[in-house]
């Protein structure tokens, strides 16, 4: 999900491929555990939004033939 980009003006960033959210590599180096936690939370939000996204029209299954009269003896 995250890709590393290097800007011409300077600085390297980890950029989210889905939404473009960027985290500076300097921040990651200064606070690695907090930065990793933030990145995991960010990825979890994307995963959850996909899991609960609207699916579209769900078709109702066609009723099957009723064969119960065949077994009534």
Does residue 66 fall inside a structural domain? no
- Give the number of other CB atoms < 10 A from CB of residue 18: 14
Which of the residues in the chain have pLDDT under 50? none
Does residue 6 fall inside a structural domain? yes
Handedness of CA 17, 18, 19, 25 (dihedral sign): negative
Number of domains in the chain: 1
Kindly report, residue by residue over 34-54, the tens digit of the pLDDT: 998 998 998 898 888 877 776
Domain that holds residue 21: 2-42
Does residue 68 fall inside a structural domain? no
Does residue 47 fall inside a structural domain? no
- Give the torsion through C-alpha atoms of 43, 20, 18, 24, to 10 deg: -40
* Structural contact between residues 13 and 23, judged by C-beta atoms closer than 8 angstroms: yes
Percent of the chain with pLDDT over 90: 10
Does residue 26 fall inside a structural domain? yes
- pLDDT, residue 37, reads 92
Does residue 16 fall inside a structural domain? yes
């Amino acid at each position: 999900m995250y890709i590393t980009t290097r800007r011409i003006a300077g600085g390297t960033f980890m950029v989210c491929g889905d939404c473009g959210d960027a985290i500076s590599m300097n921040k990651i180096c200064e606070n690695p555990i907090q930065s990793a936690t933030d990145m995991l939370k960010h990825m979890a939000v994307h995963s959850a939004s996909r899991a609960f996204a609207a699916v579209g029209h769900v078709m109702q299954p066609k009723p099957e033939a009723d064969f119960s009269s065949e077994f009534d003896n």
